[in-house]
Amino acid sequence: MNPPSVQSSILSVSRGFLTLLVASCGAVWGPVWAVSEGADVAQGPTFAERLGWKRGDVVVVLHIDDAGMHHSSNRGVEEGLERGVATSFAIMMPCPWVPEIVAYVRAHPGVDAGVHLTLTSEWGLYRWGALSGKAAVPGLADPDGFFWGSVEQVVGHASADEVERELRAQVDRAESMGLKPTHLDSHMGTLFARPDYFERYLKVGIEKKIPVLACGGHMTYAAEENPEAVGQLRLLVPKIWNAGLPVIDDLHTGSYGWPPAEKTSRLVGLLKSLKPGITEILFHASVPTDDFPKITGSSASRHADSKALSSPEVRQAIAERGIVLTTWRELMERRAKASAM
């Protein structure tokens, strides 16, 4: 089972890495800031307001990770979208069950389907490897030819060039299968573990005009784990925004660590506590088949995610709070309109 800390690695990158990251990104794209240059982003309008929502609106992306990983994961996505309140998901392109979820997207072309950029293969007996091939990215391959099992192993072996090559291979695979990714994010937060990895992640997203997961507003939940790192991350927001991509205000990754029996009540409490702005909340919703618990020790947790997203209590909390549910597709559409003004 993945430890909760791995799922929150986006928030726990070392201060030193982030300092280098800011410097390296500045060298590539230069100092740009078209929204209140020099001001504290967190003290200005929320990114929801910048994208056209009203002041005080609580806007939420309810996102499911790990689509394509297994049939159970795909079932979780389908139920989350059709019977629940999920609004978005991202696909692990190197995984075995990608054709099934791609077929679902083709049959439902309006769904919000991103690419969950994948550089690790963390389950002991259920593995996958680089789409670009071991010969092209040897640093991303373990002795058996699969991706390394941990973020730390990737960091210790893979170059930024290899990472970029594989990122492009995964986006290319999605596009060759007829997908138009609505966004990019990072499986297990690997792309946030080294500044040069993050630089390549932004490079690909900006070049292809595909939104990348990045928060830069009040970051209330993001700041709970690592306030110093959050302060450094804010320096990157102008580069992303001024490239024409949307930015969100906050990111909540903690649901992976919630006890399964408490998932619904915890989600209700979270929804009631959200500040105005755009918040993405991550889930790993799955509907387990008989073999799924043999693949991952988190089967019960993932099933509880699915139940929470489909619960009447969660729907009621969304309605009572007046929460606006959105997608990355809508965020990008609104960002394009904001640029045109």
Task: Domain of residue 297: give its range.
Answer: 4-30+58-340
* H or E element at residue 63: strand 58-67
Give the model's pLDDT for residue 225. Answer: 63
Q: Is residue 46 a part of any domain in this protein?
A: no
pLDDT 10s digits, 289-325: 999 999 999 999 999 999 999 999 999 999 999 999 9
Give the model's pLDDT for residue 235. Answer: 77
Q: In the predicted model, is pLDDT for residue 247 greater than 60? A: yes
Q: Is residue 39 a part of any domain in this protein?
A: no
Distance CA 88, CA 183 (A): 10
Q: Is residue 196 a part of any domain in this protein?
A: yes
Query: What's the pTM value of the predicted model, to 2 decimals?
Result: 0.89
5 pLDDT band, cuts 50/70/90, is very low
Average pLDDT, integer, range 157-172: 98
Q: Is residue 37 a part of any domain in this protein?
A: no
Distance CA 112, CA 190 (A): 22
Higher pLDDT, 190 or 34: 190
Q: Is residue 48 a part of any domain in this protein?
A: no
Contact, 252 vs 31, CB < 8 A? no
Task: Kindly report the backbone phi and psi dihedral angles of residue 284, in degrees, each rounded to the nearest multiple of 5, phi listed first.
Answer: -130, 50
Q: Is residue 36 a part of any domain in this protein?
A: no
Beta bridge mates, 250? 279
pLDDT 10s digits, 95-135: 999 999 999 999 999 999 999 999 999 999 999 999 999 99
Residue with tokens 């996958």: 128
Residues in the chain: 341
Average pLDDT, integer, range 31-40: 42
Distance CA 106, CA 113 (A): 11
Q: In the predicted model, is pLDDT for residue 12 greater than 80? A: no
Distance CA 337, CA 341 (A): 7
Give the model's pLDDT for residue 236. Answer: 80
Q: Is residue 49 a part of any domain in this protein?
A: no
Percentage, residues of the chain above pLDDT 70: 84
Report how many domains make up the chain.
Answer: 1
Q: In the predicted model, is pLDDT for residue 8 greater than 70? A: no
Q: In the predicted model, is pLDDT for residue 51 greater than 50? A: yes
Mean residue pLDDT of the chain comes to: 88
Give the model's pLDDT for residue 27. Answer: 37
Q: What is the CA radius of gyration of the chain?
A: 19
Give the model's pLDDT for residue 215. Answer: 87
Q: Is residue 90 a part of any domain in this protein?
A: yes
CATH number at residue 166: 3.20.20.370
